[in-house]
Structure 1
Amino acid sequence: MRVLRIYHDLTFGLESWIGSDTVPHICAGLALWLIGALVLRRPLRDPWSLSLTVLGEAVNETFDYILHIGWSLGDTLHDIAWTLFWPIVIQQFLARSRR
């Protein structure tokens, strides 16, 4: 539980410093997508490169649930959308441009 609290404090501090919770989700989504492609040794256009992004956001929302004793549907959907939006858009563009 201590690790979750440290994670929460770091993410909350980052969001407070930036003044938004959207920008960190966008950056985290893009970073996880790139790391996923490197770890899996897949091209960015491969749908499997998105798997780490989806997994990372699922873990983040699970931590939110544990630490806040529940989800806010609107906040959760907002977080998921901004984390996955750009990786999916860019991945789809790359996948279609290779054909």
Structure 2
Amino acid sequence: MDIPGIYHSWIDWIGDGTGLPDSILHIHAGMAVLMLARLVTGRSLGTFIPFAFVVGAEFANELMDYLHYGWRAADTYADLANTFFWPFVISLGVRIRPLASQRARL
């Protein structure tokens, strides 16, 4: 059974169905995993626990890419950047926000 091939047929189906390029799909997937992990775990985005789910999901996706296509460095690095950027910025912002409000009270 070709699991990476089946996985990529689903990914192609999503891309074809939405008409969105791969880079935009990575941005949406990162945000969806972040929000879903936040809801399922009940942990704040500032704990970086939901972000860890994004990291795990993206590395699993890149492993499937590697098993199906082989090593493609430029594609992998672009996928990682697109998937991690906004979830990381949001998690960092939520983490820093309480510190900023504490300083304002002083």
TM-score bin (small chain): 0.7 to 0.9
Q: Deviations over 1:16-58 (max 9, x none)?
A: 4424101110010001111122222201121111111000000
Task: Name the aligned partner's letter for residue 66 of structure 2.
Answer: Y
**How many pairs were matched up?**
98
Shift of 1:63: 0.3
RMSD: 1.5
Name which one, 1 or 2, has greater alpha-carbon Rg: 2
Q: Secondary structure at the match of 2:35?
A: helix
The answer (yes or no) to whether the contact 2:34–2:54 under 8 Å persists in 1 is: yes
Cα distance in structure 1, aligned partners of 2:68 and 2:3: 11
User: Once the two structures are aligned, what percentage of the paired residues are identical?
Assistant: 33
Q: Which runs of 5+ in 2 are unaligned?
A: 100-106
TM-score (norm 1): 0.88
Residue 5 of structure 2: aligned partner:
5
Shift of 1:97: 1.1
